[in-house]
Structure 1
Amino acid sequence: MHFRTELTVPESPKKITLQTQTLTLGSCFAEVIGSKLVENKIPTLSNPFGTLFNPLSITKLLHHALDGTLPSERLYVEHQGVWFHYDFHSSLWGRTQDELRKRLLAILQEVKQWLLQTDVLIITLGTAFVYRHLASGQLVANCHKTPNLAFQRELLRSEQIVEAFENVLAKFPSSLHVVFTVSPVRHTRDTLPLNAVSKSLLRIACHDLTEKNYTYFPAYELLLDDLRDYRFYSADLIHPNELAEDYIFEQFSTAFFAPELKKFVFEWQKIRHALAHRPLYPNSPSHRQFLENLLQKLHRIASTVNVDVEVKNVQQQLALF
């Protein structure tokens, strides 16, 4: 007897290893995937531009990074003494316009350098709705609390999305493994009916891109069809909770991780749990032995991954004895 419609993710022929350089971009779900890759010691640059919901903002910043072009001077905006840029998330700000400009240029340069060695690019699309800044005529990534009258909302066509990605991905080597996902987070501010329209356009675009040899990972379907229960949502009933995120990442790792990486992650998670352990008797001989054993395990994997921070943490605890 089955009580849910389980989804089996097709196994990827291109596998991620401990040496695979990975970049994640897009909505907040890109950050979830990125942070879990970092957590498991996979070399990853996670969502460096901040949360980007619409596809054209993602491709626009990729063009800037690859071509070395500057963000538009017309899209800097000051709000309550803080400077933002309409093409970037509000987590990227400055006390002055010049300070923000330097910060954005540094991020674009970092992304460019990372892209030169990236093996896997994971892009998460959040919405097909975009906002056009009327004064400049440009589409923007974030309105930064500017009054609605300054913008015009538009709905992208799936063809626009596909064309935008084809144009920017043509600049990458053919060996780059590009994985598209649609964020399972619903944009209720658009209303649920319009959110359905938006997500369907994103899903169609992803389907069309898979027919051009790009990959799709069904994060959207895993939450809405496989889990399909509000117990897998956080208190806002919109975002997936930690249990759901862990399940979706487990499906991702099953499909995309090489066997040796799966083995490492299994062992590494046990070490992470040990590192998070809070002893009942911190000054006891048994705890000292526990720390010494943990240090030995860290030294054994030090030639494989960087565990300098973890080793230092354990050594500091041992120094207290």
Structure 2
Amino acid sequence: MDHFRTTFNIAPNPLDIDLHTPVFSIGSCFANAMGQRLQQNKFTACVNPFGVIFNPLSIFKLINASLSREKAAALMNDAAMVEQQGGWYHYDVHSDFYANNATALRQKLQHTLDTTQQFLQNTQVVILTLGTAYGYFLKEHRSIVANCHKVPQQFFDKRLLTVEEIAQGFEETYQALQNINAHLQVIVTVSPVRHIKDTIPLNQVSKATLRLACHQISEKFAQVAYFPAYELLLDDLRDYRFFKADMIHPTPVAEDYIWQKFTQVFMNEQTLAFLKQWGKIRQALNHRSFQPGSAAHQKFLQKLLQQLNGLKAKVDVTEELAHVKQQIL
């Protein structure tokens, strides 16, 4: 028994993500954190192509627009675009997603919708990371926005989404995904990143709403699994040591812990063995020698080159091989 922590077991899932499993990850900034770990470990992953998206209805809206020409056309509505400080932005995507003019923004968005559709048609796993149950609705059109882009708050209504709205939105999106890929699996999770601008009590209300929606969704659909990222940080780790200085975002150590749990739940022994092997190689690749021309370091590089060549049949290590070869004298 651990007298200083409350840990819990997560049952392994038969999903079995391996190196040949395309994964689509969308949602809050925590979706970036986990998606980037997939990419760093040589998985094929598409991560937040529209930027960070916090509320579930906006996530569903973007997925549906990627799968439907009609919904994509609706997304191109001029009323959804706004000019701010010399740049053009779209209410349905993150502020990192911008262009110098409306035409360029529309083209950029259409291209991203097209590439997202192509990826979703071939992916096997979709990870949805829900950040907040609060949504901002543009008063003029009564439509939810993913980002207000610093437009004055007087133009929006803010309200808590209901469990029913989220569950219904998911069901419609899930059906659209199933229509193009019947074998697709979905992982839903609640982001452990706290939204304290809503106040601490209302952040809890928001997270509880998301958690209830995820419970309903995962109970209803056999091909949907819930992963407890929120619970791992807030109930297992449960210490401010595992939060960054802003007391909102998890530290890399906390993210590594949650990632480790994720791999144990959704990956088989063979994939876990590769992750361990690749972790050592990545550490070696990041090594910086004070004597790069020394015999010892050159021997180290030759060994690393041999290890990378041994992985060529499994994963693409072209970039890593070039990096090592540049250092060999």
TM-score by length of 2: 0.95
Read off the aligned partner of 2:133 and give its amino acid letter.
Answer: A
Read off the aligned partner of 1:36 and give its amino acid letter.
Answer: R
TM-fit CA distance, 1:73: 2.1
TM-fit CA distance, 1:261: 0.7
Measure, in 2, the Cα distance between the counterparts of 1:293 and 1:13. Answer: 36
- Aligned partner of 1:24 in structure 2 is 25
* CA displacement, residues 26-55 of structure 1 (integer Å, 9 cap, x when unaligned): 001111110000011011001111111101
The reply on whether 1:233 has 2:233 as its aligned counterpart is no
- Aligned partner of 1:141 in structure 2 is 146
TM-fit CA distance, 1:216: 0.3
Measure, in 1, the Cα distance between the counterparts of 2:228 and 2:142. Answer: 34
Match of 1:194 among 194, 202, 214: 202
Measure, in 2, the Cα distance between the counterparts of 1:25 and 1:170. Answer: 17
Measure, in 2, the Cα distance between the counterparts of 1:292 and 1:106. Answer: 42
In structure 1, the residue corresponding to 2:110 is in which secondary structure?
helix
- Aligned partner of 1:185 in structure 2 is 193
Which residues of structure 2 form unaligned runs of 5+? none
Which structure 2 residues correspond to residues 68-217 of structure 1 after superposition, within 5 A? 68=69, 69-70=72-73, 71=75, 72-171=77-176, 172=178, 173-212=181-220, 213=222, 214-217=224-227
- Aligned partner of 1:267 in structure 2 is 277
- Aligned partner of 2:252 in structure 1 is 242
Read off the aligned partner of 2:278 and give its amino acid letter.
Answer: W
- Aligned partner of 1:302 in structure 2 is 312
Q: How many residues align?
A: 319
Measure, in 2, the Cα distance between the counterparts of 1:185 and 1:274. Answer: 31
- Aligned partner of 1:40 in structure 2 is 41
In structure 2, the residue corresponding to 1:302 is in which secondary structure?
coil
Which structure 2 residues correspond to residues 278-317 of structure 1 after superposition, within 5 A? 278-317=288-327
In structure 2, the residue corresponding to 1:102 is in which secondary structure?
helix
Match of 1:256 among 248, 266, 272: 266
The reply on whether 1:52 has 2:22 as its aligned counterpart is no
* CA displacement, residues 105-144 of structure 1 (integer Å, 9 cap, x when unaligned): 1111111000011101000001111011112221100000
- Aligned partner of 2:233 in structure 1 is 223
CA RMSD of aligned residues (A): 0.9
Read off the aligned partner of 2:198 and give its amino acid letter.
Answer: D
In structure 2, the residue corresponding to 1:282 is in which secondary structure?
coil
Which residues of structure 1 form unaligned runs of 5+? none
In structure 1, the residue corresponding to 2:288 is in which secondary structure?
coil
Read off the aligned partner of 1:199 and give its amino acid letter.
Answer: K
Worse-matched range after superposition: 65-74 or 270-279: 65-74
